Amino acid sequence: MAKDLLHRISERMHEFSKGQKRIGSFILEHYDKAAFMTAARLGEAVGVSESTVVRFASELGYDGYPELQRALQEMIRNRLTTVQRIEITSDRMSSSDVLSKVLNMDIEKIRRTLEETSVEEFNKVADAIVAARHIYILGVRSSASLASFLSFYFYKIFDNVRNVATSSTSEVFEQIMNIGPGDVFIGITFPRYSQRTVKAAKFAKDKGATVIALTDSPTAPIVAYADNLMLARSDMASFADSLVAPLSLINALIVAIGNRRKAEISATFAQLESIWEEYNVYAKTDDRDTPNV
């Protein structure tokens, strides 16, 4: 629905009331700003009441204004430049309420991710990873931190994991060139979506591997090549990406897989604890005067 939203507004302009035409015109001309305005603020900007804005959303087939707003946000998320992000965020929050705004936005994204995640699909993903011959994990730019976190724990669970950490498209293909049937490729990508990750997912799919996509929307480019899909709500916090919900979903996946490999993990960590103790890896709270390297 979000994909053709502007087209539908344009087509139906002649049907709208005078006030609704003002709203429609504003959205067509300033959709990047409208996507982050409350109903009251949008109404104020065009000179109509908040209830007129709500009725406008209903006229377009949405259950309410928040649903229309989300549709606009999904439509533009991958189009905004970093400069536009900063400008929009400056309009949304003042310096005095940044802390509460950002944390509450993150809480909302985790809540929505939980509501929208299919337990059945989540379990299918966990089962596919446990059964995989090899596991390839790829996330670039801001998503690289998610790929690194997932790889860190998978290295302790499996001995067949590769974190595809690269700075060029050619290196991606060099590292996954032997992928094939029985393997799993986990592609992590959030707006603005990485071409490298999408191309690698297509390559993995063409080679017969199972492709698992961790992204924010069913319309994300990587979804076309995914056998299994995990959706986590993401948003922009100024020039920085908010990846709290994806990280929480990854945490859940690590725990679910850990439960499936409990015996092996217990043996691994027993051995690691011995190594960590022998080589004084971690600082002890009661040894504050003793230097640790």
Pick from 1-15, 74-88, 115-129, 228-242: least confident? 74-88
Q: Is 130 a residue whose pLDDT tops 60?
A: yes
187-213 per-position pLDDT tens digit: 999 987 899 999 999 999 999 999 999
**pLDDT of residue 156 exceeding 70:** yes
For the segment 21-43, the average pLDDT, to the nearest whole number, is 89
Name all domains of the chain by residue range, CATH numbers in brackets: 5-111 (1.10.10.10), 112-258 (3.40.50.10490)
Over residues 40-50, mean pLDDT: 93
Residue 86 binned pLDDT confidence (cut-offs 50, 70, 90): low
Predicted local confidence at residue 105, as pLDDT: 83
Looking at residue 19, what is its pLDDT? 93
Instruction: Record the pTM.
Output: 0.73
Q: Evaluate if residue 135 carries a pLDDT over 80.
A: yes
Mean pLDDT of 115-126: 95
Mean pLDDT of the chain: 87
Give DSSP secondary structure letters for the chain: --TTHHHHHHHTGGGS-HHHHHHHHHHHHHHHHHTT--HHHHHHHHT--HHHHHHHHHHTT-SSHHHHHHHHHHHHTTT--HHHHHHHHHHH--TTSHHHHHHHHHHHHHHHHHHH--HHHHHHHHHHHHH-SSEEEEE-GGGHHHHHHHHHHHHHH-SSEEE---SSHHHHHHHHTT--TT-EEEEE--SSPPHHHHHHHHHHHHTTPEEEEEES-TTSGGGGG-SEEEE---EEETTEEE-HHHHHHHHHHHHHHHHHTHHHHHHHHHHHHHHHHHTT-S--TT-TTS---
Window from 147-156, 168-177, 246-255 with minimum mean pLDDT: 168-177
